[in-house]
Amino acid sequence: MRTISPVKEKEAARIMSATETPAVRTSVAPRPQGTSQEGRHVIQIENFNFFYGSKQALTDIDLRIKERHVTAFIGPSGCGKSTLLRCLNRMNDLIDGIRMTGTITVEGQDIYAPGVDVVDIRKRLGMVFQKSNPFPKSIFENVVYGLRIQGVNNRAVLREACETSLKGAALWEEVKDRLDESALGLSGGQMQRLCIARALAVQPEVVLMDEPCSALDPIATAKIEELIFSLKEKFTIVIVTHNMQQAARVSDETGFFMLGKLVEFGKTDTIFTRPKEKMTEDYITGRFG
């Protein structure tokens, strides 16, 4: 990220003011006051270590994620952001030879405790991936996939859920007349919003997003950012990004990762304007990354 000049105070302030670029400001509702200050902790990560075989990817992570807040993970490539995110809904279970210590609890439940239903965890923590990955099916079938998996087959229920989710993902107006067409005909930004709608359809508590805008153009990115903003009213959101302006624009709290360690975690304003750690400061002002 060489777009940010190393003059830290002023520049960080300018990053913050990116939220006030006209494109975003005109259409985004003001932040709901109050909720962003307090809030229960939905997810608690304690003393968490994670290994791919013998390679340690995460070291001693302690982190709490607040309900109906947007939490951003930032950090250079390969620092373990995705790994941590994928640990939250146990997507890493699919990889051979992984090992972990410590606990992650969601609503007080240890998700790695024996006997926990992985499928249930994944229903509660939906995920949106870096590369949009719609199924080669119709738009409608994409959105209701999760419901069909749950055994819902009532056409009316599915229609209703489809509409709600697409509206929630700000895609309804664009696709309402072609729900039965293939999802693969959508544009990149639309596909990503479809993936968000698909995740919303199963009514998760938390939505995990792994660099959801990294493959999108600026306009599509702005739309998704607006969307994240509005989703915050209903869902807890964890977003991985290595676009710092994005983290500054959309998140309430930010964690900065480096080589598998959580260097600093706190309110986004604080992290971007008055970081405690030298490393954080260097990173957000663009000295490396």
Ligand X SMILES: Nc1ncnc2c1ncn2[C@@H]1O[C@H](COP(=O)(O)OP(=O)(O)O)[C@@H](O)[C@H]1O
Q: Which residues are at the interface with other proteins (CB under 8 A)? A: 89, 91, 94, 119-120, 122-123, 126-127, 129, 131-136, 145-146, 148-150, 182, 184, 188, 191, 195, 198-199, 202
Length reported for the chain: 289
Helix or strand run (H / E) with residue 46: strand 41-52
CA pair distance 123, 202, nearest whole angstrom: 7
Alpha carbon 41 to its chain centroid, in Å, reads: 16
Residue list 168-207, contact with ligand X (CB under 6 A):
none
Closest C-alpha to 23, from 288, 237, 219, 262:
219
Nearer to ligand X, 10 or 55 (CB): 55
Nearer to Mg ion, 208 or 231 (CB): 208
CA pair distance 185, 179, nearest whole angstrom: 11
Nearer to other proteins, 21 or 150 (CB): 150
**Choices 45-53, 74-82, 98-106, 194-202 (CB under 5 A): range interacting with Mg ion:** 74-82
Within the chain, where are the H helices?
8-16, 22-27, 81-88, 118-124, 139-143, 145-149, 155-168, 172-175, 188-201, 218-231, 244-250, 268-273, 278-284
Q: Residues 63-102 vs ligand X: string with x where CB under 6 A?
A: ------------x-xxxxxxx-----------x-------
Nearer to other proteins, 123 or 274 (CB): 123
82 binds Mg ion (CB under 5 A): yes
129 binds ligand X (CB under 6 A): no
**Which residues are at the interface with Mg ion (CB under 5 A)?**
82
**Which residues are at the interface with ligand X (CB under 6 A)?**
52, 55, 57, 75, 77-83, 95
